Amino acid sequence: EHMFQSTCRYEKNWPICADDDWGTKCPSGCRMQGLIDETDEDYSHRTDKIKKLLAENQNNYKK
Amino acid sequence: SSLQYLATRENCCILDERFGSYCPTTCGIADFFNKYHLTMDNELQEMERILQQITN
């Protein structure tokens, strides 16, 4: 496991990207999927909260 | 899917069938994601703000 971690670090020793690199060098698909899933989860939570609040307040208003 | 964008000689000047089918790069995905993220986040924040006002 220690060997694996040290090769990992060595292979990540890339130079910092320039603005021109965008389009020819792109993020990993795994990383993008992770970001998309994370955002989707956050938005689902927030829309659920909004729906819940709306329903609750609608009931309060009717009483 | 039916929305698939097929690469042809007309719409893709670097088309080479030997390389298989063409997909957007993850840069394109990231650009779209950023745009979507910004609009959605603003709209949700606006709704959250209005709801906060109503609840108070």
Q: What's the pLDDT tens digit per position in B11-48?
A: 899 999 899 999 999 999 999 999 999 999 999 999 99
Beta bridge partners of A25: A22
Task: Give the mutation candidate from A53, A59, A61 for the B interface (greatest B CB count, under 10 A).
Answer: A53
Q: How far apart are CA B41 and CA B31, in angstroms?
A: 15
Q: Report d(CA B45, CA B49) in Å as an integer.
A: 6
A51 close to B (CB below 8 A) = no
Residue A25 identity (one-letter amino acid): K
Give the per-residue pLDDT at A46.
96
Give the model's pLDDT for residue A2. Answer: 56
Q: Which of A21, A28, A39 to mutate to test the interface with B (most CBs of B within 10 A)?
A: A39
pLDDT in tens, chain A (63 residues): 455 666 777 777 889 999 999 999 999 999 999 999 999 999 999 999 999 988 888 887 776
Question: Does residue A55 sit at the B interface (CB-CB below 8 Å)?
Answer: no
